[in-house]
Amino acid sequence: MASSRKPAVNLLDEVSQFLKKHVTDPSIPLTVAVSGGLDSVVLLSICKQLSISHPFKLNALHINHQLQPVNDEMQKQVQSLCQALSIPLEIKTVKCDLNSGLGLEKAAREARYDVFKALSKSYLLLAHHKNDQAETLLTQLFRGSGLPGLSAMPEKRSLPDSAIQLLRPLIHIPRSIIYAYAKEHGINWVEDPSNQDVYYSRNYIRQVLTPVIEQKFPHWVEVAERCSHHFATAQKLLDDLALLDYQTCTEQDTDTLIAEKMIALGIERAANLLRFWLVKHHLPVPQEKQWTSWWDQVSKAKQDKHPRLDFAGVSLVSDHQYWYVIPQWIPWHTVTITNWGFDEIEIPGIGILSATRVLGSGIKEDTLKQAFILSPREGGEWLQRHPKQPHKMVKKLFQESHIPMWARDIWPILRNHEGIIAIPGIGVELSHQAQANEWGIEVNWRFHLSHGQGGGSHVKI
């Protein structure tokens, strides 16, 4: 009678086959991220063995998060191991921002990935395994995550804004196999005491929940991995649908979402496309309640309303033609300019004013050779642009020029002791306009914007 047992896992062969599959350019070095714990130390030891017969250059990276005394012990363990194996080691010490509001685990991850992004071109090997995959699924499930969070960690992915390819050679290997390998080969590692602290969600799942689950469902890790792949497949189909919608619902030149077409998609497909578009631009994604609030605004908004959603440090805005993302602006105050040489003037966090010398238009050159100020709108200002037309309220001029509501209170105005000189994108006060036979300065203003900004990001007078 044939045995029903699965064949024993040969960890060395598994990692070898994984690297053959994913390391397509042997000239790019392999860098193993080594914490000093069990999983990463085993991965480094295996890669060292494979480097003898495989044509790749092997390095190691250790990140010291400086969060607890054991971090220094783990660093020394990694240094000793790399010295014994003759593997070049790079050590990075980071400071986790514990006041970011992200929590300790996410703050540490942010600091870690900042290091990853700054690395030279390489395959970066991470030691996540099958149990990590299953625990991640439970963690995300309890957070109420959508399909992206519930989807499996991929074997390989490109790290945005970097030259790094992330690889996970142990992602289909159970923790028990890795532990057995370490014991069989006499591999030493350092236990992180924080892994026993069940205050943290992942540790609670690992230390408390999973032993209970395994009593009733001994194969739950394999089932969880299968579920994660189902979720990943479903997300892939949604991304394919979003790509089709993206091609019909965006302004190609500016990559701006067209408001009318987004609303016509309906709430579910519009939410799917917005998430796809935000991820494409490496921007945060609003939570479900935030999205619902946004949809209520844009689907019911009248023409005189200006929908806006603030979340995660950015703002999603609509001008009834387009949806786009802007930063959450920091209020700015008067800037005094003296002896301007017509070089660029930056208002930190807001935008840049630049100048071009032209004949017969723009602001009188002599006006700008005198001291003047840049300041945001205060309200109640008037401007006369034409000799045969009366002064108009700046508020009305902004409306006529279709300046978005979010931009009006931070739009720069040039003034001197007499009053307004000019407003970029709106016009020059009549008394300061260059005549046909004299030199003038054409002033250009551009905002520091995020992605998908509509018209008005770069204006001139």
Q: Which residue has the tokens 């790079």?
A: 90
From 327, 345, 362, give the residue that closes a domain.
327
Indicate if the pLDDT at residue 9 is higher than 90: no
User: Which pair of structure tokens corresponds to residue 47?
Assistant: 């890669």
Q: What digits encode the pLDDT tens for the residues 386-435?
A: 988 889 999 999 988 888 888 888 899 999 998 999 999 899 999 999 99
Question: 417 and 339 in one domain?
Answer: yes
Range 231-244 average pLDDT:
97
Determine the pLDDT at residue 338. Answer: 92
Return the pLDDT at 413: 94
User: In the prediction, which pLDDT does 213 show?
Assistant: 96
> Do residues 36 and 107 both lie within one domain?
yes
Share of the chain above pLDDT 70, in %: 94
Residue 416 token pair: 């001197």
Domain with 32 in it: what CATH number?
A: 3.40.50.620
Residues 35 and 122 in one domain: yes
pLDDT digits (tens, 9 = 90+) for 31-45: 999 999 999 999 999
Number of domains in the chain: 3
**What would the two tokens of residue 37 be?**
């714990």
**Domain identity same for 45 and 165:** yes
Best CA proximity match to 70, nearest among 196, 216, 176 = 196
Residue 168: which residues within 8 A CB-CB, separation 6 or more? 125, 126, 127, 128, 153, 154, 155, 156
Task: Tell me: do 78 and 182 sit in the same domain.
Answer: yes
Q: Are 82 and 89 in contact (CB under 8 A)?
A: yes
Residue 253 belongs to some domain of the structure = yes
Together in a domain, 194 and 239: no
Residue 276 Cα to chain centre, angstroms: 13
Instruction: State how far the Cα of 345 lies from the Cα of 337, in Å rounded to an integer.
Output: 9
Q: Identify whether 2 is part of a domain.
A: no
Q: For 2-16, 184-198, 220-234, 301-315, which range has the lowest pLDDT when averaged over its residues?
A: 2-16
Query: What pLDDT is recorded for position 349?
Result: 83
| pLDDT at position 316 over 90 | yes
Residue 317 and residue 275: Cα distance in Å, rounded?
15
- Please indicate, yes or no, whether residues 269 and 247 belong to a single structural domain of this protein: yes
Residue 6 in any domain: the answer is no
Average pLDDT over residues 354-361: 91
Does 206 lie in the same domain as 62? yes
Can you tell me which residue has the tokens 């799917």?
272
pTM of the model: 0.79
Predicted pLDDT at 3 = 44
pLDDT digits (tens, 9 = 90+) for 245-276: 999 999 888 888 999 999 999 999 999 999 99
Over 70: is that where the pLDDT of 1 sits? no
Residue 206 has pLDDT above 50, yes or no: yes
Q: Do the Cβ atoms of 181 and 189 come closer than 8 Å?
A: no
Q: What is the largest CA-CA distance in the chain?
A: 103
Q: What is the CATH number of the domain that holds 262?
A: 1.20.59.20
On the CB side of 80, CA atoms within 13 Å amount to 11
Higher pLDDT, 461 or 126: 126
Residue 8: predicted pLDDT: 67
Rounded Cα gap, residues 302 and 198, in angstroms: 51
Residue 364 sits in the same domain as residue 411 = yes
Q: Are residues 246 and 283 in the same domain?
A: yes
pLDDT of residue 194: 84
Q: Which domain holds residue 310?
A: 227-327
Q: Do β-strands 322-327 and 314-318 pair in parallel, antiparallel, or remain unpaired?
A: antiparallel
Whether 415 contacts 375, CB under 8 Å: yes
Task: Say which residue the tokens 């309220």 belong to.
Answer: 393
In this structure, of 203-207, 330-334, 340-344, 451-455, the range with the lowest mean pLDDT score is 451-455
Lowest mean pLDDT among 215-229, 286-300, 323-337: 323-337
Per-residue pLDDT of 58-112, as tens digits, reads 999 999 998 888 899 999 999 999 999 999 999 999 988 877 667 778 888 889 9
Confirm whether 1 is domain-assigned.
Answer: no
* 280-308: pLDDT as tens digits: 988 899 999 999 999 999 988 776 678 89
Is the model's pLDDT at 454 over the cut of 90?
no
3-state SS record for the chain: CCCCCCCCCCHHHHHHHHHHHHCCCCCCCEEEECCCCHHHHHHHHHHHHHHHHCCCCEEEEEEECCCCCHHHHHHHHHHHHHHHHCCCEEEEECCCCCCCCCCHHHHHHHHHHHHHHCCCCEEEECCCCHHHHHHHHHHHHHCCCCHHHHCCCCCEEECCCCCEEEECCCCCCCHHHHHHHHHHCCCCCCCCHHHHCCCCHHHHHHHHHHHHHHHHCCCHHHHHHHHHHHHHHHHHHHHHHHHHHHHHHEECCCCEEEHHHHHHHCHHHHHHHHHHHHHHCCCCCCCHHHHHHHHHHHHHCCCCCCCEEEECCEEEEECCCEEEEEECCCCCCCEEECCCCCCCEEECCCEEEEEEEEECCCEEHHHHHCCEEEEECCCCCEECCCCCCCCEEHHHHHHHCCCCHHHHCCCEEEEECCEEEEECCCEECHHHECCCCCEEEEEEEEECCCCCCCCCCEEEC
Considering the domain boundaries, does residue 221 fall inside one? no
- State which of 216, 240, 264 marks the end of a domain: 216
Report residue 408 CA to chain centroid gap: 27
Residue 163 lies in a domain: yes
Of the candidates 329, 317, 233, 305, the one whose C-alpha atom is nearest the C-alpha of residue 274 is 317
